[in-house]
Amino acid sequence: MEIWINPACSKCRGALTLLDAEGAGYTVRRYLEDVPSQDEIREVLGRLGLEPWDITRTQEAAAKELGLKDWPREEGARDRWIAALAEHPKLIQRPIITADDGTAVVGRTEEAVREAMSRSRE
C-alpha cells in the first residue's frame, strides 16, 4: 500500500495512526513535496473509479483563484482538471491509499482506511 499524505492534515495523521495500530505495511508519499505527475493522477483516478473533480479540494485558495467551481465537470474538461491537480497538489483530496489489489480509496474515514487494509491482505 501507498498513502499520499500532507503531514499537516489531521485525517492523514489519523489514517497513519490506524495503519500503524493494525501493523499494516505501507509507504508514505508526501505528495506536496513528491508531486504526482498527470499520468500518476490519471492512474490513481482509475484505481479510485472517480473523476478529477471528485478528488479536488474546491475550498482551497488555489481552487478559488482558478475559479474551479465554474469549470465544467465533463469528459472534455478532464485533462484541464488533472493539469490543475498536478500544478497545485494542495488541491488533491487526502489521504489517498492505493491498495495492493489495484484499487484505491480516499481514506478520510476509519472505514475507508480499513477497506484499503482489507484489500491489501492476502
Mark out the alpha helices in the chain (DSSP H runs).
10-21, 38-48, 61-66, 78-87, 110-120
Q: Which of 2, 5, 9, 88 is catalytic?
A: 9
SS3 93: coil
Residue 100 is placed in which grid cell?
A: 495492493
CA separation for the pair 50, 40 (Å, rounded): 14
Q: Is 9 a catalytic residue?
A: yes
How open is the CA angle 32-58-99, to the nearest 5 degrees? 55
Active site residues: 9
